[in-house]
Amino acid sequence: MKSISRLLFSIFLLLSILTSQSASEAIRLLENEMGFGARSLGMGGANIALGDDPSDMYWNPAGLAGIINKTIYIDGQDYQQSAVTWTNFEISI
């Protein structure tokens, strides 16, 4: 009984992983991805290598080690049809 329940659980887990995302869904999500942070997007997404901005949490999490000062970063994005509006606030502590 115990082995049958483990087998059924394993099959259920495998099936849920296999159907979680298809290739077409992944491409659709990447095509609509706008990014994060006004500075990064103003540079055309070339902020990945800089690593000196709190918005690197999205672009390159390893770049957070390059932030020297403590900062507070607040970002808001408003997606409405084809227009995107950004509001940013950053302060060094």
Q: For residue 79, what are the domain limits?
A: 2-92
For the chain, the domain total comes to 1
pLDDT band at residue 81 under the 50/70/90 scheme: low
- Mean pLDDT of all residues belonging to the chain: 72
Report CA Rg, the chain: 20
User: Where do runs of H (alpha helix) occur along 1-93?
Assistant: 2-18, 23-31, 38-42, 56-59
Enter the pTM of the model: 0.44
Q: Which amino acid, residue 86? A: W
